[in-house]
Structure 1
Amino acid sequence: MYNLRMPRLTYLKICCCNNSRLSLPKLILVLLVAVIVLQGVHMFLLSRIQNHAKRESKTADNSEIGEMIKRIYESHELDATGSYHVIANVAMCEKCLPTGAPMYEKYEITIVTQTSLNNLHHIVNMASQWQGPIGVTVFAFDDGIVNVLIAIATLRKCHPVVLKTVTFHLAYPLHRFPQNLNNAYDTALVSCEELPKVFESKVPNYSFDDIQYPHNMLRNVAVKNTKTEFIFMIDIDMLPSLGLRKDFSKFIEVADRFLPNLTAFVIPSFEAKLNVSFPADKKALLKQWDAGEIRPFYYEVCWKCQRHTDYDTWKEIDGSQLKIAYNVPWKDPWEPFFITRRFMPTFDERFKQYGFNRISHVCELHVAGYTLSVLSNAFLIHQGFKQPEKFHSTKTKELNMNRMLFRKFKEELKMKYPYSQKRCY
């Protein structure tokens, strides 16, 4: 409480009233001094209020990070090999919380993806475009885990669509636990303007020294913790066509009555030059394709990995509404992106680094009896042209190692699906 010392003000009043000879200039001076004093008191009190607000804000920020650290310590989940600590739902989307809005409807789709810190910023564009549930597993290790927690909390604070729709999971190698995690409870968030600096790591996913990037383990974590019936597995630097989520939900609600459950709905994938405007629909995409601004995905890097989508046929299909354009039997080494039910064969977690991590999964779907159906009015665009010279230096070595594993994998499928007449070739 403040002690207001009235005697001085009383003395001023008495002097003003009893001294009839007090000149007008002196009176003005006295009043001016009083105004300055009152302004000083006002600024002091305002400063205290602002400082208190800042402390409250910092406490809220710390609480977000503190909750994630708590989940790390409380999680006892490991991957199938016992090599990675997995923290599912380290930060849940607002709509996913029990106290939030109702859970997503039956025919809803969740984008599932994975990344390290250096590509996590793409989640903002993805969430803004998708406007629906997204699950992303973030890979980190050592003190980089604290940076990931700061990034997640700041993204949720600065981008309401991320807070509302994105659920984050975390995974790290058991032998690379962060040493400074206990001291991170009081870590303050960076400002929204400073957030891009957090993502300035120049190290690509495949170049973590002695750490192998476990794509498929991260994907399995995201799929396992999905709450919707359908999933859409894509890379974090890709964007789906506008309206795809709602269009597919309407389509599958009708088509589900006659389509087999084992269907993978292929979304033709493309890559666009940087800073090219995103096409509003298929008609706009075709114009940009003709102009050389957009081309089929992996056109230079591995055309045989995508050409079985049959882009020439897709180009001629009417794009006025979403429907199945045609079916394509799987052929090695086709690796399309697709939407399917979440209860599918898991990704083989032995495939790490570059090569065969997605091909192996689509191959198994084929052997398991899935139909690959290309959708007519949907597409996926990677931001930037993929070019062979921009890959990491150990790509060829990793590709050769995973090729040997893929051969073994195909032989194992014969035993896993003994009654299947389909093979991976």
Structure 2
Amino acid sequence: MSIGLRLTNRTFLLACIFSSLVVCLFILTNSRIQPSYKSHILSLRITTVNEEANQSKLPGYFVQYEHPVPSNISYCNFHYGLPLELKYSTEDEEYGPEMGPNSPYRILYNIITPKIDSNVPGITYATHMTSTFMRYVPELLRYWDGMLSIAAFVPEIDAAFVISQLNQFCYCLPGMSRVSFHFVYHKDIPPSKKYVYFTKPTSCKVDDSSKFDTYSKNAVKRSTYPINVCRNAARSAAITNDVLVSDIQLMPSEGLARKFLAMKETYKLTDIVDRVYVLPIFEVESTVEIPRTKKELIQLAKDEKAVYFHRYICTHCQKFPNIAAWMVTDPGDAVKPFITVKREVPYHRWEPIYIGTKNEPPYNELLSWEGLQDKMLQMLEMCLVGYKFVILDGAFLVHWPGMKKTKTKEEKWRESFVQANTKQYHIILRNLTAKYPPRPQCKMQ
């Protein structure tokens, strides 16, 4: 009996020891596996966060968070039967503002008209775009506090892409009440009336318009982008006296419209013929947020994360006079005149973007975007006229994040367009020479 009991106790003790060893082995084994498992989960989480961060850099991405559900009403005044269908006749079409009846392009003005609001500053950001840049419209509404006039090039099916996103924006973005929208197209490639059957959107998540399967991408013969017809159309359609003609990827500094008008009032700057107000342009690294104030911009420049626009690929294009002094001044929370200059040697290749009126020389509509130098002759004409350029302090434009540091290699597809632009360039140059007295400091070229 006692021997059997001792055997039982010994067996129990051995069983306990064996169980303990198994538990210890499991713990040790699990401790080796666990860090790897945790690391894997952490890796997945970091990947997800990084993907989310990358997505948040896409234009228009903020809309789904600030306006997750479409409104029950549209913020837009649509015309021509839109957004349900597109109905227009030849009587509705107008010609390019510069070329008139000689223009091969047609314009449908006021696809959307703005709702007048006395609280909105009376200055218009006039810009141009193709359907693949639609996602920048929400960003301009986000950063610009004035009116907005947009001319879109819409050959064939591209019109449907634009109308689709316009309809979505009109239900998701209250700022669309500040927008006038216009269609530009070649008379032989009008906007298609097909596929226009849009109803209230179910979501405010903005599609990546750069991936649209557009007409231009699939055209057998590449259609040129009439950038200056679009610029002229957007400017002429502005309902305000002050107009900023800019590119859709250039985001204005904080409260620019309101502060500019306050500056004019403070300094008693009534409208003077042959004077415009220049906005310095910068570009920033893709890893940073768009600076809203000059203080933020200067800090990014000190950190080598911001430079004047095209510094690395076209040093003369946006390097404005007295830039070094501009980079160290502090205008506070206001917009002020910095310096008044003329666009003369050695700044005869400078291409400033400015706030002016609808009375400035038109952009030359025979020049295409593909052929390059599309703004140069308008700048030259302003020099010949004797325009004064008031560079502003405390106001600036920032290109959508992403800095170009190397010049693109020769693009073979551009060659024929460059030749066409060059031919037209010299014809227009001869006309300007005959129209104005000689001014050697403008350096005719």
- Say yes or no: TM over 0.5: yes
The aligned counterpart of 1:242 is 254
2:386 paired residue among 369, 389, 407:
369
Listed as ranges, the gaps of 5+ residues in structure 1 are 1-55, 96-100
Match runs of 1:6-405 below 5 Å: 65-66=82-83, 69-71=86-88, 75-79=92-96, 80=100, 81-95=102-116, 101=117, 108-161=122-175, 163-179=176-192, 181=193, 183-184=194-195, 186-188=197-199, 190-193=201-204, 195-201=206-212, 209-257=221-269, 260-320=272-332, 321-330=334-343, 331-354=347-370, 355-383=372-400, 384-386=402-404, 387-389=406-408, 393-395=412-414, 398-399=417-418, 401-405=420-424
Q: CA deviation at 1:212?
A: 0.8
Question: What is the distance in 2 between the residues matched to 1:403 and 1:350?
Answer: 11
Query: Are the counterparts in 1 of residues 111 and 181 from structure 2 also a CA contact under 8 Å?
Result: yes
Distance 1:206 1:255 in 2: 49
Q: 1:277 to 1:408 in 2, by over 3 A?
A: same
287-296 or 313-322, which moves further after superposition? 313-322
TM-score normalised to the size of structure 2? 0.72
Q: 1:207 to 1:343 in 2, by over 3 A?
A: farther
Which one has a larger percent helix, Structure 1 or Structure 2?
1
Structure 2 CA distance for partners of 1:207 and 1:215, relative to 1, 3 Å: farther
Q: Is the 8 A contact 1:61 1:189 kept in 2?
A: no
* AA of the residue aligned to 1:323: K
**TM superposition shift of 1:204:** 11
Shift in alpha-carbon separation, 1:303–1:188, aligned structure 2, 3 A: same
Deviations 1:201-242 (A, max 9, x none): 377989964311111001111111111111111110110110
For 2:403, the aligned partner's letter is F
What one-letter code is carried by the residue in structure 2 that aligns with 1:325? F
Give ranges in structure 2 of 5+ residues lacking alignment. Answer: 1-71
The verdict on how the C-alpha distance between 1:205 and 1:252 changes in structure 2, with shifts beyond 3 A counting, is farther
Equivalent position SS for 1:347:
coil
TM-score (norm 1): 0.75
For residue 352 of structure 1, what is the amino acid of its counterpart? Answer: S
1:244 and 1:205 map into 2 onto residues whose CA distance is 34
Q: Secondary structure at the match of 2:232?
A: helix
> Which stretch shifts more, 262-271 or 406-415?
406-415
Match of 2:442 in 1: 423
> Structure 1 CA distance, aligned partners of 2:78 and 2:237?
26
1:155 counterpart SS class: helix
8 A Cα contact 1:150 1:189, kept in partner: no
Identity, % of aligned pairs? 20
The structural deviation recorded for 1:309 is 3.8
The count of residues paired between Structure 1 and Structure 2 equals 360
RMSD (Å), alpha carbons = 3.3
Is the 8 Å Cα contact of residues 65 and 150 (structure 1) preserved in structure 2?
A: no
Q: Give 3-state SS (helix, strand or coil) of 2:296's partner.
A: helix
